[in-house]
Amino acid sequence: MEKREPAADPGDASADEATSWQAQKSAATRNLIIESAIQCFVDLGYARTTTTRIAHAAGLSRGAMLHHFPSKMDVVKAAVDELHSKRLKAFRNSIKKAPPPGKGRVHVAVQAYWEHVRHPTFVAFFELTVAARTDPQLYAILEPAQAAFYDEWYRTAFEAFPEWQSDKEAFDLALDLSRYLLEGMAVSSLTHAEPAREQHLLEYLENQLRYLRPSTDLDAAAN
């Protein structure tokens, strides 16, 4: 066997030169396994995701995989953590690059979350959530991540939309409405997408959010 370069490390490419080659490769393999697991959740669902399939998708033997993760649940745990940080990162990014100060923010924000809930990351998380309902062990792993995400989601949104801070009740309502409606649409579209109806509802939601938004002097008729 020739020596292979450790594959690119998308997770946390800590290019620490002190880290040995072995450690780099190990981390790369770990990430490969995690990504494969997530892919399996999306493609096969949680129930049909077996260690055999994950290993196969990663191009490894089961033995190799169980070297990095002693049990299946260890893989799941790592995948949950990865999904959690991915969701958070994606959300922060879209918030950060999205802020034309007072103009069209509602549209951008709605589109951002709508894209998020249609992304494979959300699908994988959703699969896990459903499975966790009847699987206490998985629930114990998933619940903290879930709670932390929505907590952070709320806080970040609150800071990113200061014009709402004068009416916290309206803000909560707007956030809940957006979240439940978009997630409901996304879940439904997993098995039966209806683009036209979805588009209508997105426009409706945006209008509702503009209506709920506390009026400031600046944006009487701003989109």
Residue ranges in contact with DNA by CB under 7 A: 1, 3-4, 20-23, 25-26, 29, 48-53, 60-64, 66-68, 70-73
Single out the segment in contact with a copy of itself by CB under 8 A; choices: 10-18, 27-35, 78-86, 187-195: 187-195
43 class by beta-carbon count within 10 Å (0-12 exposed, 13-18 middle, 19+ buried): middle
**CA terminus-to-terminus distance, the chain:** 61
Of a copy of itself, DNA, none, which one sits near residue 23, judging by CB under 5 to 8 A according to partner kind? Answer: DNA
CB of 177 to DNA, least distance (A): 39
Q: Which is nearer to DNA, 64 or 147 (CB)?
A: 64
Q: Which is nearer to a copy of itself, 42 or 108 (CB)?
A: 42
Of a copy of itself, DNA, none, which one sits near residue 50, judging by CB under 5 to 8 A according to partner kind? Answer: DNA
Nearest to 68 by CA among 94, 35, 91: 35
Which residue in 151, 172, 193, 216 binds a copy of itself (CB under 8 A)? 172
Cα–Cα distances (Å) from 129 to 46, 71, 176, in that order, read: 10, 20, 18
Nearest to 33 by CA among 65, 70, 80: 65
Distance CA 111, CA 202 (A): 8
Of DNA, a copy of itself, none, which one sits near residue 195, judging by CB under 5 to 8 A according to partner kind? Answer: none
Q: Which is nearer to DNA, 71 or 165 (CB)?
A: 71
Q: Is 108 in the site for a copy of itself (CB under 8 A)?
A: no
Of a copy of itself, DNA, none, which one sits near residue 21, judging by CB under 5 to 8 A according to partner kind? Answer: DNA
Of DNA, a copy of itself, none, which one sits near residue 100, judging by CB under 5 to 8 A according to partner kind? Answer: none
One-letter amino acid for residue 102 of the chain = G
Measured over the CA atoms of residue 146, residue 148, residue 149 and residue 150, the dihedral's sign is positive
In the chain, the largest separation of any two C-alpha atoms, in whole Å, equals 70
Q: Is 111 in the site for a copy of itself (CB under 8 A)?
A: no
The string of DSSP letters for 14-64 reads: ---TTS-HHHHHHHHHHHHHHHHHHHHHHHHTTTT--HHHHHHHHT--HHH
User: What is the number of other CB atoms lying within 10 angstroms of the CB of residue 219?
Assistant: 15
CB of 50 to DNA, least distance (A): 3
According to DSSP, residue 166 is labeled T
CB of 114 to DNA, least distance (A): 33
Chain residues that interact with a copy of itself, rule: CB under 8 A:
43-48, 126-127, 129-135, 139, 143, 146-147, 172-173, 176-177, 179-185, 187-188, 190-192, 197, 200-201, 204, 208
